[in-house]
Chains A and B, each alone.
Chain A
């Protein structure tokens, strides 16, 4: 609940701090609003990855197939390329269709892949995703240049609305240029802020749905499979069906995440959807945030994205490099260091374009020293879930 409140307050806090005397520092440290939208929908994808991989122990290395399916289906519907579905199909309907198709794809992949375990399962799912990646890169039907991927065309010029389908007044469109703005208590919420809240709403609903499953008898069997599949089978559970069911559910939410991505960005490429490194980013978020914690990947991806943005070399505001260049004095920047390099040159050499290097180092350190991830470690230190233990620690047992 605290995290939800913090996220709800983030746009206001960001606005206040970036218009305060510490604006330079705030711009350098805080993720931009458009980045926060990306954090939310990708975190949902990482949570869906954690749902199957963290709770059953089956690493779905091909999970990008479901993210890509969700993303492509939304754009294909908007471009009128899906029979029986006009370009004006409400986004929420497109999103659900995309998620269902991702789930159906998971049935096919799962029926084959769950015959195997361990690294073989991981590799076969990866193989399926890579086949799809290669396929969409060469599929002329999706775009004139399929290697660059499709974008939403003129058939759907308006933004993708999230809300009650077919009731325009109860929808708010997402997207940087096509999104809605809202005036609330005299303050205008920009397109990014509206997108942040609307995407956040879908992510929150999806999170609660997955959490509900995990705390149900079905979820207990998922954990039993992770802990000892033989034992779960010997108790009488048809573990194949449970694994397949969990896989299909995780694919559904992976598809929702992909649909949100496409709805916000309005263009996708094979590289940012079906490619295996997309699953790699979800794995990174899950490990940094806490494997098998469901909410952990949100923290993990926020951390990963935050570090990348902080260490990025972009000069349009944000990040450590522009901050140092703006705040350090000219005299200090031109000071020569041993070896004949200036402070300015050293900063450039150390920070320019090396964000992935530092993220890699952070990843190694996390795996070595915080193997349970951010949320897993916090929970084990507090002796349980934050929501259950934090109030008692703050206010004591009353």
Chain B
């Protein structure tokens, strides 16, 4: 069943035309990777879905309901979560407060905290520490933990491995694999091996357009088919 469907999405920053008719779909329960070079519109695609940068044209349907023209919090209320690039944690709240603020009002707070801290035990150790004082890897774990407790049906994950040490990337990949068992994921990732390892399907974005797509099982990270779009 199709969970998310983008059709002909045209998004601008001022006069700059960033997405030029993006069309893609995500089925319930699958992990889809959105890959491409820097500046081709991957993050803008996620921002358009969330209505943080609303598209000027095109359609974005989630469970058959149009998201365009909704407020961002209304999109979130429908079960769409976001783990943004560069973490964007609330640096002056404690680790515990950062997680609590992401737990929906009607959720069991204790259970949600247990999910976050079981996934990333280091966060429980640092529960009362200001989040801004965490290392980059721990901040990424916190950002993921907040996504996990949000009771989302679709999680938009933006560059989860960016700037992280290899060991931390492995932890993050494991957490995303765990999350994928419960939630549908749309992952923006430049680390191609990681993206292909995580995802069932992929879309390649270039200059604001989807230029290729397919099953990850059919390609490898050094396929010429992908390389021509991803090499600088």
Contacts and interface: CB of A to CB of B under 8 A. Distances in A.
A binds B: yes
A226 B100 CA distance: 17
A221 B100 CA distance: 10
Contact of B88 (A221, A231, A236, A239): A231
B72 A224 contact: no
Question: Which among B72, B76, B93 has the greatest number of chain A C-beta atoms within 10 A?
Answer: B72
A230 B97 CA distance: 17
Contact of A220 (B76, B91, B100): B100
B71 interface: yes
A236 B90 contact: no
A218 B146 CA distance: 18
Interface string B80-113: 0110100011111100010011101000000000
Contacts of B89: 227-228
Nearest to A242: B73
Nearest to A220: B101
A233 interface: yes
Interface in A206-241: 217, 220-221, 223-224, 226-228, 230-239
B198 interface: no
Question: Which among B73, B97, B100 has the greatest number of chain A C-beta atoms within 10 A?
Answer: B73
B37 to A, nearest CB: 24
B16 to A, nearest CB: 19
A230 to B, nearest CB: 6
A57 to B, nearest CB: 11
Contact of B82 (A217, A224, A226, A234): A234
Given A220-B93, A220-B97, A223-B93, A233 B73 contact: yes
Contacts of A235: 73, 76, 101-102, 146, 150
Contacts of B82: 231, 234
B26 to A, nearest CB: 18
Contacts of A238: 71, 73
Interface string B56-93: 00000000000000011101110001101000111111
B52 A230 contact: yes
Given A220-B97, A220-B101, A224-B101, A236 B91 contact: no
B88 A228 contact: yes
A230 B84 CA distance: 10
B93 A236 contact: no
Contacts of B81: 234
B145 interface: no
Interface in B193-209: none
Given A220-B100, A220-B101, A221-B101, A234 B92 contact: no
Contacts of B93: 220, 223-224, 227
Contacts of B97: 220
B50 interface: yes
B76 A234 contact: yes
Contact of B90 (A217, A224, A233): A224
A230 B91 CA distance: 14
Contacts of A232: 90, 101
B52 A234 contact: yes
Nearest to A292: B92
Interface in A230-260: 230-239
B101 A239 contact: no
Contacts of B76: 233-236
Interface in B100-152: 100-102, 104, 146, 150
A223 B100 CA distance: 13
A98 to B, nearest CB: 33
Interface of A: 217, 220-221, 223-224, 226-228, 230-239
7 contacts: A224-B90, A224-B101, A234-B73, A235-B73, A235-B102, A238-B71, A238-B73
Interface of B: 50, 52, 71-73, 75-77, 81-82, 84, 88-93, 97, 100-102, 104, 146, 150
Given A230-B88, A233-B71, A238-B71, 6 more contacts: A220-B93, A224-B101, A230-B52, A234-B73, A235-B73, A237-B73
List the 8 closest A-B pairs by CB distance, nearest first.
A236-B76, A227-B90, A233-B72, A234-B82, A238-B73, A231-B88, A224-B90, A220-B101
